[in-house]
């Protein structure tokens, strides 16, 4: 026991050894929350308070779930494969697989990743002759997922206008289409699981009695439905309900755009009558100046539970601030600083460049490339999202569930086998008329179209027959060969990389079989029914088919079904992964959960960070401030912040004001790298080159515009003060005399067009 607890600080020890009651752990950035969660589980098991099968632990990324399982295996001599530790989507998938009949799902239901879901919605819109300009597929997808995240089916939504009424109708049609094809999207996994537990009292009570301890990571990122799902499983607080151990940081809640509700933390504290609230404030990541900047900044948010990070690592180096004349100059400065860091012995992979918007990366990429500095941009396609891999997955999906229309359409004529658009349209018409899948409709299509389509069906059926006794890796290899994919890409000029990616699928299948506990020679098609005969599943006294207490996930699914679910869930994971020895580039949202020795936060300008949309959204600026807090706390040793006077975005030059967040940072923790001279930034310090003419192609054009514009003495780029709107920058001037007008960016209140002969403007910095 002492070995288990000896590395914990006082706060961590208190959290780990709490009694079996619901608790809220406020875990600051870098405070060791994964250690606390994992050690809590190990302590509960080692002290005999719960068996491994009585634990339910929920994380937000597959990476975090795997890390917890790895640490547990190192702490205790137990088999972790049967433990319910995973993401919300992964655990709901497991629950639905076990009770697919009660959930009204086929045994081989498949999961649509976001790309496949969008394709399915496009198909639906086309089939029902809906105008895709008036109802863009992505917009319809967001509407459907948003409704599901709130726990709403189509018949529970009250549309407020004709457009929303149409979206509700499409939602209903989409649900019917998915049910017919035997597929579910990510949001459906949670909603279907919640509905199953809500209406099935014996099943709900079974899991409430089984999971006496529920632990949740990143609780601040839960949406409304996820919190409801947790409450269902936890039971009635104070009435022999499960102990819900929630770990989170309200200061790092940055996913409101995905439906996350930071208010769930306060609701949990109130509804579960939480007596145990522990703050983990000891930071093991960052130096003092970095933490001071984070603490002082986030203190400006009014709606927070409150904590203050501290460290024993000393103050370290101050936060470096740099103001550039343009985005080009900003990028060049990042390059020079990176060269200096590498020359001093820093690894390139320990240098991260963070930005608020993906659009900012282009200029920085160009500068790094020109300087010969390797870089890795997070945001590219994951392995299971690549086109050639998705083609192979589609063939595997048809072998597991031939009624998946999305998979069918992806590969029915890929590689080309003479099945044209007219044949597909004829097939879709039959399927729609008879309310059956495309695969099932093939025998009903006459003529040449029917013959060619039947040839594709024979290909799939032949592969299913030939591989029925094969292990998963061998099955994957056969499908790659018989589908024609390998041959097809051999004829492509740049097909070598695609072939390598396809062949990597065999390795992925081998690794999956090993990690998930399938016997190396177990047939890939062996499903739950066959495994149930060997005692993996039992029926309890209420007549509910359940898993044995220690049965691992393979008891629920065939190896092929499990591998396909794994591929879909991996494709939907949103956390960045650090690449090769190269400078790491990513948005701040993607950087959450990561840490680097050296971090650049770029583009700190009003309208960019905080984003211009935040001023129009409820609590939008507070969310942007939390995002800034996350960015700051990614840095261990050195933190750089930079901004530019002008920036080319979306084909237009923007004249910018520095972010308001600079005014919320402690001056004693900052170091301005530029020589201090007076500037037009209301007395703020600026670099010496600001007194010189603007340079660079974008700025030269801006100068010419300013020189030609007869704006009553005013010039583009000048900073001004307005009695009502405050400080702003002139971005455009037109007209002269009494008709002269200026477009001015006022930062906090956005763009305004003012008559220069009437507006009472005051020049700044003169």
| Contact between residue 284 and residue 11 where contact means Cβ atoms under 8 Å apart | no
- Active-site hit among 113, 116, 149, 217: 217
Could you tell me the end-to-end alpha-carbon distance of the chain, in angstroms, rounded to an integer?
69
Give SS3 for 665: coil
Token representation of residue 194: 């919640």
Q: Alpha-carbon distance 580 to 643, whole Å? A: 28
Q: Pairing state of beta strands 183-185 and 319-326? A: unpaired
Q: What is the DSSP string of 106-154?
A: -TT-EEE-HHHHHHHHHHHHHHTT--TTTS-HHHHHHHHHHHHHTT--G
Phi first, then psi, for residue 399 (nearest 5°) are: -70, -30
Q: Alpha-carbon distance 766 to 679, whole Å? A: 8
CA of 680: how far to CAs of 81, 175, 687, in Å? 62, 57, 12
Give the CA count within 13 Å in the CB-facing half-sphere of 455: 12
Annotated active-site residue 156? The verdict is no
- Active-site hit among 149, 185, 188, 218: 218
Token representation of residue 390: 């998705």
Q: Alpha-carbon distance 107 to 525, whole Å? A: 12
Annotated active-site residue 217? The verdict is yes
Token representation of residue 529: 């029914």
Annotated active-site residue 605? The verdict is no
- Active-site hit among 17, 34, 150, 179: 34
Q: Alpha-carbon distance 618 to 630, whole Å? A: 20
Specify the residue for token string 């004349």.
325
Specify the residue for token string 């359940």.
546
Angle at 714 between CA 710 and CA 720, to 5 degrees: 155
Q: Output DSSP code: residue 573.
A: -
Please list the alpha-helical segments (H only) found in 574-696.
588-591, 620-632
Give the CA count within 13 Å in the CB-facing half-sphere of 452: 17
Annotated active-site residue 645? The verdict is no
| Contact between residue 68 and residue 38 where contact means Cβ atoms under 8 Å apart | yes
- Active-site hit among 11, 12, 33, 110: 33
Annotated active-site residue 252? The verdict is yes
- Active-site hit among 634, 638, 647, 654: 634
- Active-site hit among 61, 87, 177, 252: 252
Annotated active-site residue 690? The verdict is no
Angle at 226 between CA 225 and CA 229, to 5 degrees: 85
Token representation of residue 339: 């060269």
Please list the alpha-helical segments (H only) found in 278-326.
288-298
Q: Which residues pair with residue 353 across a beta bridge? A: 585, 600
| Residues annotated as catalytic (active site), given as ranges | 33-34, 217-218, 252, 634
């Amino acid at each position: 026991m002492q070995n288990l607890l000896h590395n914990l600080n006082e706060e961590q020890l208190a959290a780990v050894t709490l009694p079996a009651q619901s608790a809220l752990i406020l875990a600051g950035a870098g405070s060791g929350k994964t250690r606390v969660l994992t050690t809590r589980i190990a302590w509960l098991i080692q002290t005999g308070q719960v068996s491994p099968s009585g634990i339910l632990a929920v994380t937000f990324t597959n990476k975090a779930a795997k890390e917890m399982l790895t640490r547990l295996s190192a702490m205790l001599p137990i088999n972790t494969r049967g433990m319910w530790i995973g993401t919300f989507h992964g655990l709901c998938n497991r629950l639905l697989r076990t009770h697919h009949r009660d959930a009204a799902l086929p045994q081989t239901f498949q999961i649509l990743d976001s790309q496949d879901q969008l394709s399915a919605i496009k198909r639906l819109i086309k089939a029902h002759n809906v105008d895709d300009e008036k109802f863009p597929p992505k917009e319809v997808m967001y509407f459907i997922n948003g409704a599901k995240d709130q726990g709403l089916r189509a018949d529970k939504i009250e549309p407020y206008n004709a457009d929303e009424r149409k979206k509700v109708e499409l939602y209903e049609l989409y649900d019917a289409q998915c049910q017919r094809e035997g597929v579910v999207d990510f949001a459906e996994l949670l909603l279907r699981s919640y509905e199953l537990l809500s209406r099935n009292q014996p099943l709900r009570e079974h899991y409430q009695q089984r999971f006496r301890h529920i632990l949740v990571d990143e609780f601040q990122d839960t949406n409304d439905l996820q919190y409801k799902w947790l409450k269902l499983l936890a039971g009635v607080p104070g009435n022999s309900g499960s102990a819900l151990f929630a770990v989170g940081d309200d200061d790092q809640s940055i996913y409101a755009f995905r439906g996350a509700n930071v208010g769930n933390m306060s609701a949990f504290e109130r509804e579960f009558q939480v007596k145990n609230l522990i703050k983990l404030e000891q930071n093991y990541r960052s130096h003092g100046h970095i933490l001071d900047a984070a603490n002082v900044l986030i203190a400006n948010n009014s709606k927070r539970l409150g904590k203050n990070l501290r460290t024993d690592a000393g103050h370290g180096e101050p936060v470096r601030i740099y103001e550039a004349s343009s985005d080009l100059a900003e990028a060049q400065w990042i390059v020079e600083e990176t060269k200096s860091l590498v020359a001093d012995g820093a690894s390139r992979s320990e240098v991260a460049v963070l930005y608020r918007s993906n659009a900012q990366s282009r200029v920085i990429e160009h500068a790094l490339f020109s300087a010969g500095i390797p870089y890795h941009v997070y945001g590219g396609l994951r392995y299971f999202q690549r086109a050639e891999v998705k083609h192979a997955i589609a063939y595997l999906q048809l072998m597991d569930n031939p009624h998946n229309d999305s998979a069918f359409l992806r590969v029915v004529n890929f590689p080309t086998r003479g099945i044209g658009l007219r044949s597909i349209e004829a097939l879709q018409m039959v399927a729609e008329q008879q309310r059956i899948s495309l695969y099932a409709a093939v025998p009903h299509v006459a003529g040449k179209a029917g013959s060619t389509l039947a040839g594709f069906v024979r290909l799939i059926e032949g592969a299913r027959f030939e591989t029925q006794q094969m292990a998963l890796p061998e099955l994957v290899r056969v499908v790659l060969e018989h589908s024609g994919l390998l041959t097809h890409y051999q004829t492509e000029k740049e097909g070598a990389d695609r072939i390598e990616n396809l062949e990597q699928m065999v390795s992925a299948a081998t690794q999956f079989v090993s990690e998930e506990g399938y016997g190396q020679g177990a047939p890939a098609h062996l499903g739950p029914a066959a495994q149930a005969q060997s005692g993996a599943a039992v029926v309890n006294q209420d007549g509910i088919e359940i898993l044995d207490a220690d049965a691992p996930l393979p008891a629920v699914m065939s190896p092929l079904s499990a591998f396909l679910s794994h591929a879909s869930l991996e494709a939907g994971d949103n956390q960045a992964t650090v690449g090769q020895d190269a400078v790491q580039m990513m948005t701040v949202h993607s950087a959450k959960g990561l840490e680097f020795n050296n971090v650049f936060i770029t583009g700190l300008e009003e309208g960019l960070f905080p984003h211009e949309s935040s001023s129009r959204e409820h609590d939008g600026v507070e969310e942007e401030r939390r995002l800034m807090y996350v960015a700051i706390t990614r840095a261990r040793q050195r933190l750089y912040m930079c901004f530019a006077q002008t920036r080319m975005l979306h084909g237009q030059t923007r004249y910018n004001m520095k972010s308001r967040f600079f005014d919320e940072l402690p001056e004693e923790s900052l170091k301005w790298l530029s020589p201090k001279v007076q500037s037009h930034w209301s007395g703020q310090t600026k670099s010496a080159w600001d007194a010189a003419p603007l340079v660079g192609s974008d700025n030269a054009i801006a100068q010419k515009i300013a020189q030609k514009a007869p704006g009553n003495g005013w010039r583009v780029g000048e900073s001004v003060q307005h009695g009502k709107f405050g400080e702003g920058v002139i971005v455009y001037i037109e007209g002269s005399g009494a008709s002269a007008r200026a477009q001015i960016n006022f930062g906090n209140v956005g763009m305004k067009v003012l008559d220069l002969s009437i507006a009472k403007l005051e020049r700044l910095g003169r």
